[in-house]
Amino acid sequence: MIQYKISELETLISQAESKKLDAEREKGALWFAKEFDKYADWDEQNISVNQKMFDNISWYRPGGKTAEELAKELPEFERMEIIAMLDTAIAELTEVINGTMVRRPVRLVDWNGISLQGSNFYSNGKPVFLHDYFSKPLDVPTDDQMLYNHYLGNIDHPESLNPSLISDSNGTPTLGKYDSLMNRPTNSMGYTILWHEPAPDWAVAQYGETLRDGITTFTKYDINNPEIRNIWEKVLENTGPITSGKPYTELGYLLANEPHWFLEKGHWAVPKKVNGQEGISDLALQAFAQWLSERHGTVSQMNAIWGTTFSSFNEAAATVIPLEKSYKGTPIGYDVSLFNMERGTEWLTFLHDQVKLNDPGAKTHIKIMPDLFAEGNRTHGIDFEKLTEMVEIIGDDAKTRKLNVRATGSSEDWADHYAYYWKELGMSYDFMHSVSPDKAHVNSEVHFLSTTAYRDLYMKPEYVRSTYWLATILGMDAGFTWFWGRNPDGSIENRLMTTSVQGLLESYPGSVAQQPRVANELSKTMMDLNAFSEEIVKFQTQKKPIRIFYSETSAINDEHYMDDLFDLYESMYFDGVPIGFATKNIIKKQPNSDWDVIVVYETQEVTDEEFDVLQDYLDQGGTVIIDNASLKFNEYKQPRAASLKASNGTLIVKADHDVQSMATSAFGIVSANGHMPPVVVTETNGNTKKGAMWRVVPNGENRYVMTILNLGKNQATLDVSMVNGMNITVTDLLTGKRMGNSFSLDPEGVMLLEIKALPRTNHGHEPGADTSNSSEVEVVNKPVVNEGKIEVSVDKGKNKLILPANAKEINGTNMLQLTNESFKVIIPANVLESLKLKATEDMLINAGITFEFKPMDEAEKRTLLTNASKKNHVNLNPVTGIYHFSLSLNDQKGDLISSATIEEPIRIELVVSPKADSNLLGMYFVGEDGTLEYVGGEIIDGKLVAKVNRLGKYVGLEYKKVYTDVSETYWAADAIQSVTAKHIIIGVEDDKYEPHRSVTRAEFAAMLVRMLGLSVQYTASSSPFQDVSETDWFADEVAAAYATGIVHGKNDGIFMPNAAITRQEMAVMIIRAYEVAHSTGVSTENLEFSFADMDQINEWTKPSIAAAIELGLLRGRTNNLFAPLDETTRAESAQVIARLLMFL
């Protein structure tokens, strides 16, 4: 099956390139298909190895599966994902070749020609967004094209800079440690990292064990020890002349990996001394005592503020670190946290300055953990603002997740409203780009796909695209994803097989190297971002007119402060206005004209300097919105007598503490300044909170580019319009397809749109404006016939066609073909002719044949589909318009003479959304009461095509039945959804599928008959089986299966309809069904297979089993068994039929 589809895609790529059409996206899918097919074979031969890997991550057990079950299912899962990936690529490239989809060509990255210009990286004169993996197998050189290429990324990174590079206090280089820096196999752009591993043994022997006091996760020594600093000075003196100007430092020097020094007692990351006790070194405690002395002057003044009775600063320092939880939110907690931030900043600044001293042209960044900003604990020692200011490149390792796998109890609050957790990513990126708006941004360890608390082997591509797109819109210029753990031959990286480091042990199982569609979607998303990089940069560099005031003082003192700020941030996030932050330093250092208003919310404690800066901003004419609880205290929670005065500015005080009220006021100020978006999006999603994040930028005269991401958990119905009332056209830039002003966007959906405002004309309508709900009529007085068809193409805005009933072209031989941009309908000639026969010749002189095709408005559509969803207990997603088709004969006044009788099927073709899931798609007749009738349909050239026997309302729907006993992560979940959507298999109850129940011979025969669309009415001759009677529910289906040769029955005219079907019987039936579908036999000559239980397989079934295995319809079970006599379950039936559908 995979090889068949690979060949099909290769043929399409050749066709596209012969027409000079870009097929780079499909080349990527082809590359991943071939690689993962190889990986699946390796996984199939190494189940015990993968079981061991899954055992390493005991907290990850999707669907309650054991490590053994996950390992056994992995190869088949990977193959099914490959097939789904190839299907998507084939469908999309087919549209490109047929001209129904127009894509901007991919701009591949020139990995040897990347440069940093201002706040962006450039390749071939255009902005470019880079992607790679933070870690790839260390044993594989970076010139290996199977791991370093356009699809997995081609960033170079030599071995780290670290203390082991010198062998003594004189800085003598350690033999052999510099080879990686001096001899690189490529000239690709890259970065090098300062790795803070334990102090060298020679240094410990010379200076003592206390060098290793105060160690944390990735900093294995005392940052206050001067000997550590001497070591780093010598290391960087040696390496600077080597690394300076090298391509592998163009992306900068990464000063530290996830630095943190939590000083809270009992915290998982609290520093440890060599003796195992919690705490920092004596040198660090002395530094804290000195800090307290400089801050408070005398011990008595400190005691007065702290409420303590310490006799000295040294005693105070040694007593309060590590910090008791009860001290958090107190003056003691404030001083400890502030000192720790200054200590961490001073250390990282030292490293930065040493790098710059030895490589003056160097750029630096730090892998800061954004959760340290978004969450409440401030004992970690990281000052986001100062560190972001200090480095030349913004750095981080932001993460998102769909759930916290390690969490217990109830779900997180955000899960009620959003598809995934985006708070950390959104707030931290907007904060860092508020601090340093003109810097490039490198996420050197992207944790969108997996973290220590989240992964999803069954992850959908939509989540991948949404997270990387959001991060890039918010400023990410390069992202290196965690984690690629496969060697080129598919085996697991050697390091992961031998390490005892838990973080590495957990990095591989359930990760991207086991997820074909995830890996491909990441690559494809970056291709799309780079195709539109100039537009994306405009989103990144938008001004942020609303600034939320951020006080490090309040953040230290109030663990709920960031949650409060998020409530405000969230309330303004979904209205098209970029949101930023303002701090004391931002207000002082940046042009205040960069924003319109500062909003102060739940910021009770600020320093006098912070207060004075806000007052000065008002004095200079600024605008502040503030609640009546903020700024009331100083950093030690002492009351402040002063309050802000409006002075020369505008001061709006809100007494109600309502974030929505504050947001409304902020938007009002932005609007008054003329800075609200000229385009507006109205959202309906059935939730109490909005979920569609959108931004819009100008892109020429009366043209705008808009991006929309649905972060919400529900589908969003969106209406786009101009604030000034001008009509618009909307084009999907990713497909080149025109859209209406109203459309739906699924959770995690991403759009990039061009909005064109249309100048008004003297006729009161804008050219191309959507007037499809008016009653405009297309009258064709002289029909044109082409090859037996009366061809009529109607413009947008018309919903009725009238042909003269007495036209000679309507003669019983010419059919009618009507086309507009949303559908095509073909009406047989005899249907038209029979309509004429319902009137006299005199009546026909002035009569007209009227074909109406009324689109349903959005309100009516929502009501109809809501009723249909409830009535049928299913989730429905329309991927076409809903049209009410009717055909009639009318007199000159328009009065009805007769409606048409449909004696021969009418062909309806509905243009389908490019994002539609073909596995869930079908055309439906919709009754007035919401009753749905499935009429089938297949995708042809971007249209859903079906033949129908009556007119009325038709729509293309994604039909997703929710079964309570089939989880999303169940191995056959996609197949069950697909065959249910095709109405081949139905649930045993409205919400029950019973996947493990056995399938009878009659049931499986009925499934195949429905799949093939066969129809034979039961008669004694059509079904000769003695044990099948006319009253059996399956009588007609078995008759059809017998008539077409799918079933032959047992001996003596017995079918045994209620016996469970075995796997070998299933193989025979599916091959016969395949032959019926293709009207030809399957050749089994030279087909061989081998299983350990061959002796149990009946000879007459072996040719069918061989053919089914060759076609990829069936596979053996574990331990090289076929299990021919085992009963087939409903889940297995769904999987087999889903595979068989791919051949139809």
The set of residues, in sequence order, having a beta carbon less than 8 Å from that of 1028 and lying 6+ positions away, is 1002, 1018, 1034, 1035, 1038, 1039, 1055, 1057
Strands (E) across 795-949 are located at 798-804, 815-819, 823-827, 848-855, 875-878, 883-890, 896-899, 906-911, 921-926, 932-936, 938-940, 943-948
Q: Which of helix, strand or coil describes residue 439?
A: coil
Task: Give residue 770's pLDDT.
Answer: 32
Q: Kindly report the CA angle at 909 between 905 and 911, in degrees rounded to 5? A: 165
Strands (E) across 392-453 are located at 394-396, 441-446
Q: Which residue has the tokens 């799949």?
A: 1011
Task: Give residue 765's pLDDT.
Answer: 32
The class level of CATH for 159-250+252-392 reads: alpha beta
The set of residues, in sequence order, having a beta carbon less than 8 Å from that of 326 and lying 6+ positions away, is none
Task: Give residue 299's pLDDT.
Answer: 98
Task: Examine the pLDDT at 958 and tell me if it is beyond 50.
Answer: yes
Q: Where are the alpha helices (DSSP H) in 1013-1122?
A: 1035-1043, 1063-1078, 1102-1110
Q: Quick check: 584 and 610 in contact, CB under 8 A?
A: yes
- 3-state SS, one letter per residue, for 635-697: CCCCECCCCCCCCCCEEEEECCCCHHHHHHHHHHHHHHCCCCCCEEEEEECCCCCCCEEEEEE
Give how far the C-alpha of residue 879 lies from the chain's centroid of Cα atoms, to the nearest Å.
Answer: 20
Closest CA to 944 of 931, 929, 959, 930: 959
Q: Could you tell me which residue, 501 or 255, shows the higher pLDDT?
A: 255
Task: Give residue 837's pLDDT.
Answer: 87
Q: Kindly report the CA angle at 442 between 439 and 445, in degrees rounded to 5? A: 160
What's the chain's average pLDDT?
A: 92
Task: Give residue 1019's pLDDT.
Answer: 67
How many other CB atoms are found less than 10 A from the CB of residue 907? 15
Q: How confident is the model at residue 762 (pLDDT cuts 50, 70, 90)?
A: very low
Q: Quick check: 314 and 288 in contact, CB under 8 A?
A: no
Convert the pLDDT of each residue in 877-904 to its tens digit.
899 989 999 999 998 878 888 888 898 9
Mean pLDDT of 708-717: 97
> How far is residue 735's CA from residue 744's CA, in Å, rounded to a whole number?
16
Strands (E) across 417-510 are located at 441-446, 478-481
Does 543-676 match 776-960 in CATH topology? Answer: no
Task: Examine the pLDDT at 773 and tell me if it is beyond 50.
Answer: no
Task: Examine the pLDDT at 178 and tell me if it is beyond 50.
Answer: yes
Helix (H) / strand (E) element for 464: namely helix 461-473
Q: Which of helix, strand or coil describes residue 802?
A: strand
Query: Which two tokens mark 308?
Result: 């303590």
- Sort 299 into a burial class: Cβ within 10 Å, 0-12 / 13-18 / 19+: buried
Task: Examine the pLDDT at 772 and tell me if it is beyond 60.
Answer: no
CATH number belonging to the domain at 776-960, selected among 3.90.70, 2.60.220, 3.30.450, 1.20.120: 2.60.220
Q: How confident is the model at residue 771 (pLDDT cuts 50, 70, 90)?
A: very low
Question: pTM to 2 decimals?
Answer: 0.76
Q: Which residue has the tokens 């009535």?
A: 871
Domain ranges of the chain: 2-95, 159-250+252-392, 543-676, 678-762, 776-960, 976-1141
First to last CA, the chain: 13
Task: Examine the pLDDT at 234 and tell me if it is beyond 80.
Answer: yes
How many CA atoms are closer than 13 Å to the CA of 490, on its beta-carbon side?
A: 22
Mean pLDDT of 415-441: 97
> How far is residue 1136's CA from residue 1130's CA, in Å, rounded to a whole number?
10
Task: Give residue 411's pLDDT.
Answer: 66
Task: Examine the pLDDT at 408 and tell me if it is beyond 70.
Answer: no
Closest CA to 169 of 221, 205, 197: 205
How many other CB atoms are found less than 10 A from the CB of residue 782? 8
With pLDDT > 90 as the criterion, what percentage of the chain qualifies?
Answer: 76
Task: Examine the pLDDT at 767 and tell me if it is beyond 50.
Answer: no
How many other CB atoms are found less than 10 A from the CB of residue 491? 16
The set of residues, in sequence order, having a beta carbon less than 8 Å from that of 634 and lying 6+ positions away, is 605, 606, 607, 608, 640
Query: Which two tokens mark 752?
Result: 């990039």
Task: Give residue 761's pLDDT.
Answer: 40
Query: Which two tokens mark 635?
Result: 């950093």
Closest CA to 259 of 309, 219, 305: 219
Find the Cα–Cα–Cα–Cα dihedral 511, 512, 516, 522, rounded to 10°: 150
Task: Give residue 701's pLDDT.
Answer: 87
How many other CB atoms are found less than 10 A from the CB of residue 839? 18
Q: Which residue has the tokens 């994604």?
A: 958
Q: How confident is the model at residue 1020 (pLDDT cuts 50, 70, 90)?
A: low
Local structure of residue 547 (DSSP, 8 states): E
Q: How confident is the model at residue 845 (pLDDT cuts 50, 70, 90)?
A: confident
Strand-pair category, 815-819 with 921-926:
unpaired
Mean pLDDT of 387-408: 90
Strands (E) across 102-261 are located at 114-117, 120-123, 126-128, 130-133, 192-193, 253-257
Largest CA distance in the chain: 117
Query: Which two tokens mark 1066?
Result: 């299933």
Task: Give residue 768's pLDDT.
Answer: 28
Local structure of residue 856 (DSSP, 8 states): P
Under the phi-then-psi rule, with left for phi > 0, alpha for psi from -120 to 50, and beta for the rest, what region is 279?
left
How many CA atoms are closer than 13 Å to the CA of 607, on its beta-carbon side?
A: 15
Closest CA to 974 of 30, 3, 88, 25: 88
Strand-pair category, 953-960 with 703-710:
unpaired
Mean pLDDT of 115-136: 95
Query: Which two tokens mark 26?
Result: 């499909």
Convert the pLDDT of each residue in 1068-1077 to its tens digit.
999 999 999 8
Task: Give residue 915's pLDDT.
Answer: 83
Task: Give residue 253's pLDDT.
Answer: 97
With pLDDT > 70 as the criterion, what percentage of the chain qualifies?
Answer: 97
Mean pLDDT of 74-91: 96
Convert the pLDDT of each residue in 615-653 to its tens digit.
999 999 999 999 999 999 999 999 999 999 999 999 999
Convert the pLDDT of each residue in 11-41 to its tens digit.
999 999 999 999 999 999 999 999 999 999 9
CATH number belonging to the domain at 543-676, selected among 3.40.50.1820, 1.10.3810.10, 3.40.50.880, 3.90.1330.10: 3.40.50.880
> How far is residue 595's CA from residue 607's CA, in Å, rounded to a whole number?
23
Q: How confident is the model at residue 373 (pLDDT cuts 50, 70, 90)?
A: very high
- Of 389-398, 856-865, 979-988, where does mean pLDDT reach its minimum? 856-865
Q: Could you tell me which residue, 929 or 531, shows the higher pLDDT?
A: 531
Strands (E) across 421-565 are located at 441-446, 478-481, 546-549
CATH 2.40.30.10 fits 678-762, yes or no: no
Strands (E) across 199-330 are located at 253-257
Task: Give residue 1078's pLDDT.
Answer: 87
Strands (E) across 185-322 are located at 192-193, 253-257
